[in-house]
Structures are given as structure tokens and as C-alpha cells.
Structure 1
Amino acid sequence: MSSAKRFFSFTVFLALSLLVGSGHATGLVESTEFGGDTEIVVHFRTAVDQDAAQDVARYTVFEETDPDIRLTVSAVELSADGMEAVLRFAEPLNTTVAHVVTVHGLGGVEETTFSVSKSYLGYLVSILISALLINNFVFTKYLGLCVFFGTSKRKETAKGMGVVFTVVIVVSVTMSWFLYQYVLKPFHLDYLQIVIFIGLTSLTVQAVDTVLRKVNPILFKSFGVYLVLVIANCIIIAVPLLMASNEYNYFETFMLSLGAGGGFLLALYLMSAVRERVELARVPESFKGLPIAFIVAGQFAMAFLGFSGLQLF
């Protein structure tokens, strides 16, 4: 096998390990996973003693980001073959962060420490779904409303603006991440975040403006002033700031920006579909135009509250 093939195989193996692995375990423990909001499931390599495994005093559990607060294990259930233990907690676990578990005097080992975390691929998808539905920037955070109400009168305009917005936010946030990681952080220029991020967004919008003007003049004219307003759109500023505060890596940043853009596209399309029908309805004169649009947006916001607390991974 050539060196290039070996390198490619190693890269694929490493990537799959990062994406699929749900917990880091060594020695006595074979694998770990979250069994639910109040459970941690531990799979052992060999059968363990039942009395020792069910002794809750042998377990020390804490969140990796907060090691000073110990989580109390209320009960431990061991399978009949002694190969699987379910740790139960009185309070729900924050499964979005890794948990560190230390077992004392089990299986002939004085101390065994391992971590429990969700699949990294599932974590990336959860960031996407969160920005798309659960924490939709329009219907749950009420950001970007100027462009939202201005371009949601027709479905064609809404779809075009949604796609353009998604491209702008993905490109600008990607550039923001690289600049933040390799310029702002190393040189302690974090206080320039907002200025830099707005500048990168302006650069991206200007590029999209030039391309649209040549490729699709009709769509460009339908956007009007709202394409320029994308530069100061709250969502485009909020996403890189959220990326910086959470210290996301590039893949997490990409999923966040894609989810935010997709969520804005979804909100625009839903709103435009309703507004086209509202124009044909018998709406009281005082409610025509923006008033009825605000009422519809409020109803969508209440509907999206139904996604609160949704966890797929």
C-alpha cells in the first residue's frame, strides 16, 4: 500500500472515530452512553461483581466543564450477566456536555476513570436543528425582522432572499471564524469583534450584489434596498458572536451558520405563503398590511415554541 493510501485510510479512520464515538473508555470499561435524561449506561469488558457494582458510593460523577460539583448517583442496576450497568440520577443530566465518571474498586481495579458524551456527529446535527427549528432566530429570538417583513410578500422573492441570505451568512461566518481564531484571539483583539464581523459581512454582501446584478437582474431589483440591509442584519451579527462566545470549531460554526440561514429561509417561505393567501382574504381595513403580518408572525412564533426542549441526539 502506498503512503498516500495509508494516509487516506488513517484520515478516514480518525474522522469516523471522532464522529461515531460516544464515550472514551479504557481497561475495564468497553463503551459508555447516555441512556436518557437521568441515566448513564456502562458496558464492561468482563463481568463484574454485583454487590460491588451496585454500591453507589463507589461512583464519582461530574460534568467535564464543572468538576467541582459532584452529581449524586441514586441507584445502579446491573444486568444478569454482569456486563452492563445503568447509573441512575435523581436530577436530569445535561447531556450536551461530557461527563466524567470514576469507579473505585470494581473488577479488581483500584480506580477506573472514563468520560461519557454524545456522538460528535449527533452533536453537529443538534447544532443545525437547534438553529433551524428549536432556536429559530426569527420566531424565537425575533432577529432580522426588517428584512423578514420586507421580503416575505411573495414566495419567489422570499426563496431568493433566503438562499442569498444563507450564502452570505455561511461565507461571512466562515471568514469570521478564521479571522477570529488566527488574528483576533492570538493578538488579543477580541474587542474588535463587532467591527470586524460587520466588515466581513459587508464584503460578502457586496460580492453577492455584484454577482446578482449580472446573473439575475430581475431578482436583484425585487430585493431593492433589503439586500443592502442584510449587512446590518441582526442574525448575521449574532451568529459570529455566538460562535466566538461558545468557542466553536469550524465544523460547529459551519453547522450553526447553515442552520441560521436555513431557519431564516424557512421563516421567509412560511410567512410569504401565508401573506399571499391573506391578500385574498377579507381582512379589516385597519389590519391590512403590516398589522396582519405581525399577527401572523406572532402565531408562527407560538407554533415554534412547540419545538422547545426537543432533543434528537
Structure 2
Amino acid sequence: MMEEFSQILLLFISTILVNNFILVRFLGICPFLGVSKQIETAFSMGLATTFVMTLTAGATWMINTYILEAFNLPFLRYVSFIIVIASLVQFVEMFIKKTSPVLYKALGIFLPLITTNCAIMGLALLIPLNNYSFIASIVFGFGAGVGFTLAIVLMAGLRENLEFGDVPEALQGVPITLMIAGILALSFMGFAGMIAM
């Protein structure tokens, strides 16, 4: 029991730091660069993505285990996972629009684009590939969302501070943003030797 708990904990930590979806796997770059201009908006986007990733992990595990594998239909994985992700994003979008119109407006086009966020599809496809259990899948999805949120909030904080910096004209805008993203990715690669997972 204790060994299983430690494996789940290692999976959670390694998904956040060692195998971060944005900075190590390079999935979900569009919202990472597009919504990381303000910390509040980035954090809200991270929470919405974490919610969708966690639910996607559980739903895709059940669909894959009880329908696709049980009836020998693995070729329907992509289609079924896309339907699950799109449905969950619609649910999140309706909820945010109803509860916080200001946040809904701030997230703009990036909220419905969670549907096409490759990080979520990558998560759904990695679960059957790694043969995770249901609990491990949920932890993996939640950890991936927390790692996504951490990366996007770090980037937003750096970009907010950059507004007060003296950036050369040639590097302003996209060039300095990509340089910061690269340095963040390098820093997260430093965690690679800490946890073997």
C-alpha cells in the first residue's frame, strides 16, 4: 500500500516538474504564449485546463478500458478522445461564461481553443500508452494540469516584470518571449535527474 502511494506521488511530482507538458514535452505552446501576459488570466487559464485535463484523464481511461479495449476498437481512440475533450471544454466554457463574464472575456478565443490544445490530446493518448490504472490516470491528468498552470503562471510573471525592463528594440515582443520560454525549458530540464519515472 505504501509502495503504491509512493509510486503515485512520484508520478504526480514527475508530471509537474520532470515531464512538464509545456516546458519538457512542448505540448500546449499556443496558450502558453498567448495567455501568459497577465498572471491572473494565466492562472485562470491554468485552472480551466487543469480541470479539463483531470476529467479527460478519467473519462478517456474509462472509455479506453471498458469500450475500446473491451470491444477491440482501439482505432477509434482519436475520435472518441476528441469528442470527450470537446464536450468537457464546452462544459467549462459555459460554466465560466455564467459565473465570471469578465474572466470569460479575458480568456477570449483561448478558452474554446482548449479543445484543440495538444497537451490535452497528448495526455489522453499517453494514458493507454503507459498502461496507467484509473487512479494513476487521474493523478497524471491532475499533475499535468498543475504543471501546465505552473509553467504558464511563471511565464506570465516574467512577462509582467519584463514590461519594466530595458529590452533592446530588436528583442521586444516575440523574440524575448521565446528566449524566456527557452530558458524556462532549460531550467525544468534540470529536474530530469532528480526523479526516475
Pairing 1:277-288 to 2, within 5 Å after superposition:
277-288=161-172
1:245 equivalent to 2:129? Answer yes
Q: How far does residue 282 in structure 1 lie from its aligned partner after superposition?
A: 1.2
- CA deviation profile, 1:115-173 (whole Å, cap 9, x unmatched): xxxx1111001111111001111111111000111111000001100111000111122
Q: 2:99 aligns with which of 189, 210, 215?
A: 215
Which residue type is aligned with residue 172 of structure 2?
K
How many pairs are equivalent? 197
Do the aligned residues in 1 keep the contact of 2:18 with 2:195 (CA within 8 Å)? no
1:129 alignment partner AA? I
Report what 1:259 is aligned to: 143
Q: Does 1:138 align with 2:22?
A: yes
Code of the aligned partner of 2:12: L
TM-score for both structures, normalised by structure 2: 0.97
Query: Which residue in the other structure is 1:300 paired with?
Result: 184
Alpha-carbon distance between aligned partners in 1 of 2:99 and 2:24, rounded to the nearest angstrom? 34
Residue in 2 aligned with 1:224? 108
In 2, Cα distance between the equivalents of 1:193 and 1:222? 33
Counterparts of 1:243 and 1:312 in 2: how far apart (Å)? 18
Give, as a single letter, the amino acid of the residue that structure 1 aligns with 2:120: I
Higher helix share: 2
1:310 is matched with which residue?
Answer: 194
CA RMSD of aligned residues (A): 1.2
Percent of aligned positions with the same letter in both sequences? 36
Of residues 233, 236, 244, the one that matches 2:120 is 236
Is the aligned partner of 1:275 residue 2:146?
Answer: no
Partner amino acid for 2:191?
Answer: F
| Structure 1 unaligned regions, length at least 5 | 1-18, 21-118
Residue aligned with 1:187, SS: coil
Displaced runs of 4 or more, over 3 A: none
Greater RCO (CA < 8 Å, at least 6 residues apart): 2
Cα drift, residue 198 of structure 1: 1.2
Unaligned runs of 5+ in 2: none
Per the normalisation by structure 1, the TM-score is: 0.62
Give the secondary-structure state (helix, strand or coil) at the position aligned to 2:26. coil
Q: For residues 224 and 128 of structure 1, what CA distance do their matches in structure 2 show?
A: 30
